[in-house]
Amino acid sequence: LLAERGVVLPEGTPAAATEAPPASGSNAFSWPSVSGAVLQRTRAGRGGKTVTIVRGIDDAHLTDAARALKKALGVGATVEEGGVVVQGDQVDRLRAWLSKAGVRRVVGE
């Protein structure tokens, strides 16, 4: 994989170093297990800063979902209020990404 991206490795580098790391085990978050998500844009109680809240994710998987969204969208995300709070007005990006990730129904602003 690294060679495909144009990264030059020193001679004698083991082949395992050029492959992608394995998936993070059985506790990895699976978006298809989420049947629907509700997106809500709000500024209330946040000093005028806009955030987007994603609801509809099982409470047991909120932390994994926040981690996946942070990595996928490159924004801050945390678990609050029974949902995942994503920094900024990300409704359009979240709707597109969740749909592509296999969430069957995405509703919201």
**pTM of the predicted structure, to 2 decimals:** 0.70
Q: What is the pLDDT of residue 7?
A: 57
Could you give the percent of the chain with pLDDT greater than 90? 49
Could you tell me how far CA 26 lies from the centroid of its own chain?
A: 17
For 70-90, how does the pLDDT look when each residue is reduced to its tens digit (9 = 90+)? 999 999 999 998 899 999 999
For 19-57, how does the pLDDT look when each residue is reduced to its tens digit (9 = 90+)? 444 444 444 567 767 888 999 999 998 899 999 999 998
Band of the pLDDT at 6, cuts 50, 70, 90?
low
What would the DSSP string read from start to end of 16-29? GGGSPPPP--TT--
